Structure formats: structure tokens, C-alpha cells
Structure 1
Amino acid sequence: MTERSGWLDRLEAAGNRFPDPATLFLAGTGALMLISQLAVWLGWQVERLVQRDGQPVVETITPVSLLDSDGIWWLLSTLVDNFVGFPPLGLVLVGLLGIGVAERSGLLPVVLRRLLEASPAKLLVPATVLVGVLSSLALDAGYVVLPPLAAALFLAAGRSPLAGIAAVTAGVTCGFSANLFITGLDPLLAGLSTAGAALMDPGYRVAISANWLFMAVSTLVLTAVGTAVTLWLVEPRLARPRPGFESLPAAAEHGAEDRGLRFAGLTLLALGMVVLLAVLVPGAPLAGLGEHFPRWMEALVPLLLVVFLSLGLAYGMGAGTIRNDRDSVAMMGETMRTMGPYIVLAFFAAQFIACFSHSRLGEMLAIAGGGWLASLALPATGLVLAFIALVMVANLIMGSASAKYAFFAPVFVPMFMQAGISPELTQAAYRVGDSVTNGITPFNPYLVIILAFIQRYRPDAGIGTLVALMLPYTLVFAPVWALLLGVWVMAGWPLGPGGPLSYAP
């Protein structure tokens, strides 16, 4: 342990003295029920400006009690649906079925080991962080697929698997909005920014590429920063794995490995051609738009199941680690057995998050915070920095990026336009603040997945372990990314194609 990481050790120890995370979510649900009733008794209400039929309308929002007769009935009647509909639950279980076969057949250990042998060790951390940042191309699939792969890769390199989980999770969470490419988040936020700008200027349109250049540069900066945090703050306080700690299957005989890899390579080629045709051919299953995004993006987790399962089966049959269907089913069953603690945790987390949403306390707190910030009458630069800080705090109580911006955009976009700040800059500032606290907010439902992966290597890990791993990234990413935006604005560079910094009526 290094002296500079002692405070993280104390934080981890203090956090792990708390009850089990499932118990914390249960207690939080009870507290929410009391607070919602208190808010109703006090008559708390907030107002926000919305558009209806093209006209601005003031909407009054009031809290919903979870402790009165209707509230208790709602909780009882939706208890099962809250759990079954908990977004990370299906993603994790479905995604890990395929990953489990690919891992236990020996495919992933062999691929990771050979990649490690062919790659310079000094590139392991930056590559891990970069892949985490880029994973937003795949929506939320990065939470499911990348942590176990990063852990296995670090383990094969003789380094702590928790360092691998932390590095890739930092990219997935704290670097969520950054990317080298346009992602599904860009049109979603641009649409909300356009709706907010319409309250001030009905003809204003925000391009989906408005933040692309800034986010592409942010990707490179955050990769470098995430690498430094991992190497200097996170990894030094993690013990290296003990000999024999690795739980992955032993390598097959080298000739069998090569045969399995050939089988897997041919399978990947065939699957790639099938998926490409399914995406590009008009009328094919994956062609066109789904409910919110292109179909192939909305079906990404099922596609990952098919790909990993097929590759695992192909490798296993070629290498001799899978002899019949019973072997593959047993591998999937073993994977599900390791996820038992996560399923219990997900049940209580689902109830807590559903209650918070139903009570409307989250959106009311976000709107009230926005009104308070507006009342400060800060200069333009101060407004942007204060907005980033406000979003960081709001993200601790309301995790959804799109839902939170749906509340913020109608307030801050027109308000900042009056101060000469473009909707595109407001949107970029929002993306910075919304990302950097993703790794530590209890309202990020996917963090229970990360905790479950950590507990595979450290069974006694709790909330303190997770926070101690991720907090250094938040503390460093926040000022660096905000400073990058400040330098960008001072230099007068456009945020992207169609992304001006200022607004003039």
C-alpha cells in the first residue's frame, strides 16, 4: 500500500462497514416512502416550462406518496414488474450466458493470453480505458461484456483483476458521453436541446454532430487521464493475485487450441456476413429503425449472446473442451450460479429505483436545483461551470442521462441562450457533468453489475470497495474535463460541425 492511497483504504474500510448493499437498498426504499409522505404533507411543488401543441406551458409537479393507501398498493402490485423490468437484469443474464460459454470453453482465456503475448504490457491500461469509453457505441452493453473480459486480461498479465474492472468501468461510466464517433446519445440529446431552444427561438435546430469534435478530443484526453489514475492511484493499493488464483480453465494442448481458434474464426466470419446482410438489406430483421435507435443497436445484447455462444461452441468443439450439448448447458448453468448474489441485489435495487421514480422526487429535486442556479445570476463562464457542478450532483440522485436532460433542457437551454451561450455548449457542459459521477452514483442501476463482478474476485467486497475503486476517477475526470471545455471555449473552437459556442438572437 502506498501512503498516498491510505485515504482510499480508510474509505473502503468505512464503506464496507455498512450493511450489505441489498440491505442498504431496502433501507433506502423505506426512507423514500417516509420522505415522499413528508413532501406531500408539506405541500411541496415545483413548476417547469414545457411545450404543448407548440406553445410554452407551465406545468406544476407534485410529489406522489408511497406511504398512503394508493402508494402501498402501487408498490405491492408492481413489485414483480419492478424486478422483472429492471433494465440491467435481463442485459446481464442474457449477455453472460454467451460469455460464460466463451470463457469456460477456453476461448476467451486463449484469445486474451495470445493478445497479451503479442502486445506491449505498457499498452494494457490505456487500451482498457479506451475500449471502455468507446463502449457507448453499444449503448449499455459495455457494462455487461467488458468488466469480466478486462478482469481476465489483467489476471492473465499477473495484475489485479480489480484494476482491470476499475479501468474499463471508468471508461464506461465516467467517460460515458465521450466517443470518437457519433453515438445513439447524440441525436437523443440534440432533440431535447432543440426542444428547449424552441422556447426561445422556434426555428433553432441543434445538429446531432454539434458536440462531435469536442467529444472525440475528450476521448483521447480521458484515456490518458484514466490511464494515469489507474497506474498511480488505483492499482498501487490493490494486491497482485496469488499463485493459483486464476479461475479460468487450463489451456488446451497447443494444437487443439489452434484448431479451436480456426473453428471460432470461421464462425465469426460467417456470423459477420449474416449480421451485415441483416443490417443492410432492406426489409431484413436488423434493417431500419427500432423504437429509438437503429434495430441492430437495440438488439445488440441478443446479438452478443449469439456471437459469444456460437464462438464458444465452435472453439470448444474444435479444441475438445465441449464434447456434447450437456457440456455447453453445464457451462451456462455454472455462469448463472455465480450470478446468484447479483440477482438478489438487483431485486432490492429495482424496488428502490422504481420507488424514487414513482414518487417524482428525483425530477422535482432536479428542477428545484435548476431554479436555484438560475437565481444566482452568474456570468456566462460561471454559469457553464456551475451547471456542470449542478449536473454532477443531480446525477447522484437521478441516473438516466436522457430523463435528467429532459428536465434540464427546457430550463437551462433558453436561460443560457439569453446569456449568449449556445444550446450546443449547454449540451456539451451537461454531458461533462452527467458523465463524471456515473461511477459512484447509487442511481446508476448498472453499478450493481460491477459490484457483482468485483465480488467474484473479492467475496467480502461491498459498497466501500466499489466507491474506493471509482472515486479517484471522478475526482480527477471532473476538473480535467471541465478545464478542457473551458480551454475549448476560450480558444473559440467550434464544438463540432454545426456546434457554435455562442448564441445571438
Structure 2
Amino acid sequence: MSQQGTSVKRKENWADRFLNVVERVGNRLPHPVTLFFIFAAIVVIFSFLLSLLGVEAQHPGTGETIKVVNLLSKDGIRMILTKAVDNFTSFAPLGTVLVAMLGVGVAERSGLIAALLKKMVLGAPDKLITAVVVFAGVMSSMAADAGYVVLVPLGAIIFLAKGRHPLAGLAAAFAGVSGGFSSNLLVTMLDPLLGGFTTSAANLLDPNYAVLPTANWFFMFASTFLITAVGVFVTEKIIEPRLGEYKGTFKKELEPITKQESKALNFAFITVIVFVLIIAAMLIPENGLLRSDEGNILQGIPFTPFVSSMVLLIALFFFIPGIAFGIKSGSIKNDKDVAEFMSETMSSMGGYVVLAFAAAQFVSYFAWSNIGLILAIKGADFLRAINLTGIPLILMFILVCAFINIFIGSASAKWAIMAPVFVPMLMQLGYSPELAQLSYRIGDSITNIISPLMSYFAIIVAFGKKYDPKLGIGTLISTMLPYSIVFGIAWMIMLVIWLVLGIPIGPGAPTMIPPM
């Protein structure tokens, strides 16, 4: 990457030309909402054509012959017209995300998230600063996209203050925030969001299958430390040596945490401890309110009130300390401020609500037509025929997800399209929906940082231009590419080890199920 005041314009090579083509093609793709309506229309048309051709498959579980349902028939058109509202209101990820974001929004707008990230990074010893920046980036996913606008520019400023290249700090923070987006020590809003799509897809084969918000928690908990370690290695051994010494003129002093913010953080932390103790008191005793009637938390987890309450508990986990911080820091003066924060959060979710309406129609049409189920059965038969099963199949699926992610930035939009096909297909071969979701999350994360179509990519370029005015999309991608490659290799090795050892990827979440 070039440096301010010393760089010369680099001649385009084949990699730059390829990335330029990717950028141009991707920019011409319709908006995700338009894409879903297009896909819904395609499903309707293909349901008519495939029903005429008599396409069918045998259900592996019941032995029933599954035929394509023509959605352009009289009954099909009636369903499309009369079920549109029900499709939307019963769309599993909709309520999940909106409820969780009520709490997250209060924590973010009260200043808790920004102060917490700043406190975490500024208090780190010089030797651990890279690790803390990457780790804070990974953990920032608990507040949705706050890490992009708070931590990425902060990472550059911190490195500059420590006498290191600011673009290395920007890259380290971006790698943690975006490349490690799926990882976290906590269950975040992404978990129930993707779980809703996975459940809907699994129900094509098994109507009673439910994917929990904690489905990938064990693996993602461990991944937090893996991504942090790998991020430190790439930053210090590859990125910083390549960047060299910073010779630019841009300087900015760090703004330390104020005494009032520090007191507010302590107060918020106390409320978190109290909240966790209250939940533990309702979960640990045998007669606890949130414990399953069977008494065994893990064996009864699909039926526990604790799991059914997970989305609300996630919201409260952020809502309560967010209010505590706001009151102590002065950002919340009365209940009107809290209501305003929640309203602002819901206003910002307008785009997601529209996307959810379009996605709900597509998912419903796919299920009604039986195309997804038949495609999954035929696909599983094909994979058996070519003997592509086991670990090679899972790794290939990760790479497919990583490639698609370059062109479609939204994690939920991609999974809404892919889940109805790949989840039942992998279930047919004996792989759990939870493993399919986990594999998708790995593939989706590793190419986030090199996709010019990722919604925050242009913002990261703008941040970088403060330190190198000549920085562009190609130079940012070339800087982030080592993270993408090494993250992918490390994550896939870890998954292979996980699969070989047969470790559950979450509470009550196996990697294998009986083939269906």
C-alpha cells in the first residue's frame, strides 16, 4: 500500500484488473430487495414449467412422492394473494431481530458501546495492542455494525499514537470487525437471525426441527480466540512490514475516557452482574423458572423456557446496562430519551423490514412449490453419486459461500437464498442444519474484508484516505487479502479438527444427524 507523501501511482496488474471487474459487475446487481422479488418471480415461473414436465422426487423420510406445485394455478395464485401478510408476520427472523435491536439500540445510542470499545483498547499494554484491537473488533459484533464506525477509525488512531503505521491499525480493526463478524464470546443478534432461516429450511424435511440461537456458540466462542491470534500474526508479520514506516503528516491525539464515562461504565458493569445473577437464579436450581421440566438443561434445551426467552434476554442484556450507562453519563435524562433511542433504532431498521417482506415471500413460494425440497433431494443424490461427502463436501460448501459473498454483501439475504437448498441437501447426507449454518458463517466472514460490495467498504476507504490520500478500493483489498486467506485456512483447519473429534458446535447442537 502506498504512503502519504512518498507514494507513486502503481501500474495496474492482473489482480487489480480482476478486482475492478468484480466491482463493476457487483455494482450492477439489483438491490437485495429487488433480487428477492426477482427470485420469487423466478420460483413462480419455474413452478409452472417444472410441474408441466412432471418433475418429482421421493421424500427420503416418508417415501412420499414429492411433486412440483404450480403456483400459477388457481390455488397457487390465491395463496400468493391471500398469504402475503401471513408470510411477512410469521417470518421467523423478523420479530427476532427487531426485539433484539431494541436493547442493542439503547446500548449503542446511550454511548455504552463506544465507551466500552474505547476503554478496552486504550487500556491495553503496548505489546498487546494489536491483539486487543482485533479482539475488540470481533466482540463489536454484539452491537451490530457499531464496530465499523467506532473501532476501525479508532484502531488507526491508536496505532498512530503508539508510533506504528495507522493503516495497520485500521486493517487490524477492520479484520476483527468484518472478518470475525460471526465470532463472539456472546450470543449476538446474528445467531437468532440466521437460526430463523435455518429452521425454515430444515422444516422442508423435518417440520419439527428447530435451530436454537445457541446452535453455533461453542465453535464461535473458540473462534474468537482463533481469529484474534491469526489477526495479530497477519498484522505484525505481513501487513506492518509491507507498509513500513509511516511518513504522512496526519496526526490526531487520542481522546481518553472521561471520568464520567468511566463511572458510567462501572455502573453499567454492576447492572450486568446483577442481571446475570438473576438469570442464573432462575436457571440453575432444579425448580428454576427458566429450567426445563426434565431438570436437565442440556438434554432439555430445545424445550426450556430459557431458550424460548433467549431473544428477549439478549435485548435486556444490552438494554439494562445501556440505561444504566446513559443515566450515569448524562446521555439519558428521562424515559423520553430511552423511548427516543428505541424509536431511532427502529427507524434505522426500515430497510431490514422491507428486505424481510421480500425475503418472506420468496421463502414461502420456495416452500409451497416444493422446488427447494426436490432440488435438495436431487442434489444429495448427485453428491452421493460422485462420492463428494464428508469433510471435502463441507470445505467445498464454505468456499462456495465465500465466493458468493463477494457479490452479495448481506449475510441474511444470502442465507435466505441458500438455506432452502443447502440445509435440506446436507441433512440428506447426515449433516445437521447447525453445521450447515456454521459452515455458511465461516464462508460469509472470510471474504467480507475483500468484497467491495460490502456496505461499509467505501467507509473504510474514506477512513484510510486520511492517512494516504491515494488509497483506493484496490489497495484496501490487497491489504486485507492476507487476512482473508489466512482466516479461511485457519478456520477450516479448526472445523476439520472439530468434526474429527465430534465436538458439539453448540449446546445440544450436533454436527451429524441420521441421514434423512
What code does the residue aligned with 2:104 have? I
Out of 55, 69, 75, the residue aligned to residue 44 of structure 1 is: 55
Aligned to 2:5: none
> Which piece of structure 1 moves more, 155-164 or 122-131?
155-164
Out of 142, 150, 153, the residue aligned to residue 152 of structure 1 is: 150
Secondary structure of the equivalent of 1:292? Answer: helix
TM (normalized to structure 2)?
Answer: 0.63
- How many pairs align? 418
Task: Give how far 1:35 is off.
Answer: 0.9
Out of 39, 42, 52, the residue aligned to residue 28 of structure 1 is: 39
* Alpha-carbon separation, structure 2, partners of 1:220 and 1:336: 33
* Alpha-carbon separation, structure 1, partners of 2:358 and 2:434: 34
Task: Give how far 1:126 is off.
Answer: 4.2
Secondary structure of the equivalent of 1:19? Answer: coil
1:326 aligns with 2:370: no
Out of 284, 287, 291, the residue aligned to residue 287 of structure 1 is: 291
* Alpha-carbon separation, structure 1, partners of 2:42 and 2:461: 30
Note if contact 2:107-2:319 (Cα within 8 Å) is conserved in structure 1.
yes
**1:303 and 1:151, CA in 2 relative to 1: closer, same or farther beyond 3 A?**
farther
**1:480 and 1:99, CA in 2 relative to 1: closer, same or farther beyond 3 A?**
closer
Identity %: 30
What code does the residue aligned with 2:29 have? F
Task: Give how far 1:105 is off.
Answer: 1.7
* Alpha-carbon separation, structure 1, partners of 2:288 and 2:267: 27
* Alpha-carbon separation, structure 1, partners of 2:44 and 2:434: 35
**1:8 and 1:95, CA in 2 relative to 1: closer, same or farther beyond 3 A?**
farther
Out of 126, 135, 142, the residue aligned to residue 127 of structure 1 is: 135
Note if contact 2:137-2:174 (Cα within 8 Å) is conserved in structure 1.
no
Secondary structure of the equivalent of 1:61? Answer: strand
* Alpha-carbon separation, structure 2, partners of 1:88 and 1:354: 14
Per-residue deviation, residues 339-380 of structure 1 (Å, max 9, x unmatched): 2222222221221222222222122112111112222357xx
**1:163 and 1:268, CA in 2 relative to 1: closer, same or farther beyond 3 A?**
same
Out of 10, 14, 17, the residue aligned to residue 25 of structure 2 is: 14
Out of 109, 115, 136, the residue aligned to residue 114 of structure 2 is: 109
Note if contact 1:392-1:436 (Cα within 8 Å) is conserved in structure 2.
no
Secondary structure of the equivalent of 2:60? Answer: strand
1:274 aligns with 2:278: yes
* Alpha-carbon separation, structure 1, partners of 2:50 and 2:286: 53
1:381-420 correspondence to structure 2 within 5 Å:
384-386=391-393, 388-389=395-396, 407-409=425-427, 411-413=428-430
What code does the residue aligned with 1:412 have? L
**1:487 and 1:453, CA in 2 relative to 1: closer, same or farther beyond 3 A?**
closer
**1:372 and 1:216, CA in 2 relative to 1: closer, same or farther beyond 3 A?**
same
Per-residue deviation, residues 106-140 of structure 1 (Å, max 9, x unmatched): 222211111110234311464257659xxxxxxxx
* Alpha-carbon separation, structure 2, partners of 1:345 and 1:274: 36
Aligned to 2:312: 302
Note if contact 1:129-1:226 (Cα within 8 Å) is conserved in structure 2.
no
Task: Give how far 1:156 is off.
Answer: 3.0
Residue ranges of structure 2 left out of the alignment (5+ in a row): 3-11, 158-168, 207-215, 243-249, 405-413, 448-452, 463-472, 505-509
Task: Give how far 1:45 is off.
Answer: 0.7
What code does the residue aligned with 1:270 have? V
Note if contact 1:89-1:343 (Cα within 8 Å) is conserved in structure 2.
yes
* Alpha-carbon separation, structure 2, partners of 1:22 and 1:114: 38
* Alpha-carbon separation, structure 1, partners of 2:85 and 2:220: 39
* Alpha-carbon separation, structure 2, partners of 1:352 and 1:427: 20
Aligned to 2:75: 70
* Alpha-carbon separation, structure 2, partners of 1:89 and 1:330: 21
1:350-389 correspondence to structure 2 within 5 Å:
350-376=360-386, 384-386=391-393, 388-389=395-396
Secondary structure of the equivalent of 1:321? Answer: coil
**1:481 and 1:329, CA in 2 relative to 1: closer, same or farther beyond 3 A?**
closer
1:84 aligns with 2:83: no
What code does the residue aligned with 2:23 have? E
Note if contact 2:112-2:326 (Cα within 8 Å) is conserved in structure 1.
yes
Secondary structure of the equivalent of 1:46? Answer: strand
Residue ranges of structure 1 left out of the alignment (5+ in a row): 51-56, 133-141, 197-210, 237-241, 245-249, 414-422, 442-449
Secondary structure of the equivalent of 1:285? Answer: coil
TM (normalized to structure 1)?
Answer: 0.64
Secondary structure of the equivalent of 1:316? Answer: helix
1:59 aligns with 2:64: yes
1:341-352 correspondence to structure 2 within 5 Å:
341-352=351-362
* Alpha-carbon separation, structure 1, partners of 2:396 and 2:91: 29
**1:390 and 1:150, CA in 2 relative to 1: closer, same or farther beyond 3 A?**
closer
Note if contact 1:287-1:295 (Cα within 8 Å) is conserved in structure 2.
yes
Per-residue deviation, residues 398-433 of structure 1 (Å, max 9, x unmatched): 758799555544x434xxxxxxxxx8xx99996775
Aligned to 1:54: none
Aligned to 1:137: none
Superposition CA RMSD, Å: 5.3
Note if contact 2:398-2:439 (Cα within 8 Å) is conserved in structure 1.
yes
What code does the residue aligned with 1:47 have? Q
